Amino acid sequence: MKRFSEVIRGISCSVVAFLAISAFGTASAADYPCSSVEWIVGWGAGGGSDSFARSMAPGVADTLGVPVRVINMPGASSIVAQEEVLNRPADGCTIFSITPDQLTNEITGLTELSHTDLQPIMRAHVDIGMMHARKGGEFGSWDDVIAYAKDNPGELLVGGTGAASFDEIVVNIVFGAAGVEFRYIPYEASKEMHADLLGGRLHVVYDEVSVLAGMIEAGQVAPLIVLAESELEKFPGVQAARDLGYQVPPSLWRGAAVKGGTPADAVKMLEGAFMAAADTEAYQTFEEGRLLNLYPGRLGADGFAELLAGEHKMYADVISGLNAN
């Protein structure tokens, strides 16, 4: 017997795929070597990676001409899912949702698996990070934060999700560049962190714009700096890290990969299908709704592979610095 949840998911996905196909007219039936594709998401249903996969899958299925089923396999920052993908044949019939967590998991030693075991397909978008304070709280600007940190060394409380995680690395890069001491407070779920920020128990939090846009708009939270090369049109007046002379930390991104060693023609077809899917209305609406289009993030297989190698080095440097302290 097939897993029941998989069957349900399969049905719902095929319904969506069917709707998508009928909406976009005829499907271009390419000769993809699999009768169906499974997209394994290492995070729970409803999260950022899951919504990404579900908004993208119909478009990919449309181009490949075979159904694409999204399967959630949450656990251990998607290490469980990565293992599953690497245990399957390298035939392009299984897609893996990749985020910077694959790099940090590897560097911190949570897993023996490496990002080099994977063949990148495409980076779809960048989710810009910002440093936030409570609106109407004691910190009206980034300068206030730095001044407080200088007057009270080690007293500045900065929240982020996960320990020895992407967030902690980013926070370290930013405050390292600013040259001030701080205390990083790790959270398992961002909801508790947000409550602690609004409740006045944290001074600053790091979070991505897709997560906090609503709270910014509602006037609960104020962005202080944006961790990018330049100011964003969406948030005028919020200084960019580069403009402050800081090293810009890597951004959170989401993309797709397959097992390393997948035949080149399958990779090529997948890359094409993903690029096409990124232009579909379903995906574009998703990007727009979550403000994932503030910064150009789309990269093909080769550019993505290069980026992974570069960021791997950057994270490794920061983490070895953290461990040295």
**Would you count residue 79 as binding another protein (CB under 8 A)?**
yes
**Choices 90-98, 172-180, 248-256, 285-293; region in contact with another protein by CB under 8 A:** 285-293
Q: Are 107 and 312 in contact (CB under 8 A)?
A: yes
What six digits make up the tokens of 90? 């390298």
Contact between 82 and 111 under an 8 Å Cβ cutoff? The reply is yes
In Å, how far are 83, 125, 154, 167, 310 from 172, measured between CA atoms? 29, 23, 13, 9, 18
Continuous H helices in the chain: 4-23, 48-64, 79-87, 101-107, 142-151, 166-178, 190-198, 209-217, 264-277, 281-289, 301-324
Does 86 interact with another protein (rule: CB under 8 A)?
no
Contact positions with another protein (CB under 8 A) in 119-148:
none
> Which tokens in the block code for residue 125?
């978008």
16 binds another protein (CB under 8 A): yes
Q: Which stretch binds another protein (CB under 8 A): 140-148, 218-226, 245-253, 265-273?
A: 218-226
Q: From the list 65, 75, 176, 272, which residue makes contact with another protein (rule: CB under 8 A)?
A: 75
Return d(Cα 201, Cα 203) in angstroms, integer: 7
Rounded to whole angstroms, how far apart are CA atoms 282 and 276? 12
Position 257 contacts another protein (CB under 8 A) = no
Positions 92 through 121 that interact with another protein (CB under 8 A) = 108-111
Work out how close the CB of 285 gets to another protein at its nearest, in angstroms, rounded to a whole number.
8
Span from 68-76, 232-240, 265-273, 296-304 in contact with another protein (CB under 8 A) = 68-76
Among 198, 244, 267, 314, binds another protein (CB under 8 A): 198
CB closer to another protein, 75 vs 300: 75
Q: Which residue has the tokens 């979070």?
A: 207
Q: Which is nearer to another protein, 6 or 231 (CB)?
A: 6
Note whether 135 and 221 are within 8 A (CB).
Answer: yes
Reference 93, options 263, 279, 255; nearest CA is 263
The tokens for 24 are: 């976009």
Q: Measured between alpha carbons, how far is 159 from 172 in angstroms, rounded to an integer?
A: 12
Interface residue with another protein among 65, 176, 186, 300 (CB under 8 A) is: 186
Q: Give me the amino acid identity at 64.
A: L
Q: List contacts with another protein (CB under 8 A).
A: 1, 3-5, 8-9, 12-13, 15-16, 19, 44-46, 50-51, 54-55, 72-77, 79-80, 83-84, 108-111, 154, 157, 162-165, 168, 183, 185-189, 191-192, 194-196, 198-199, 201-202, 213-215, 217-220, 282, 285-286, 289-290
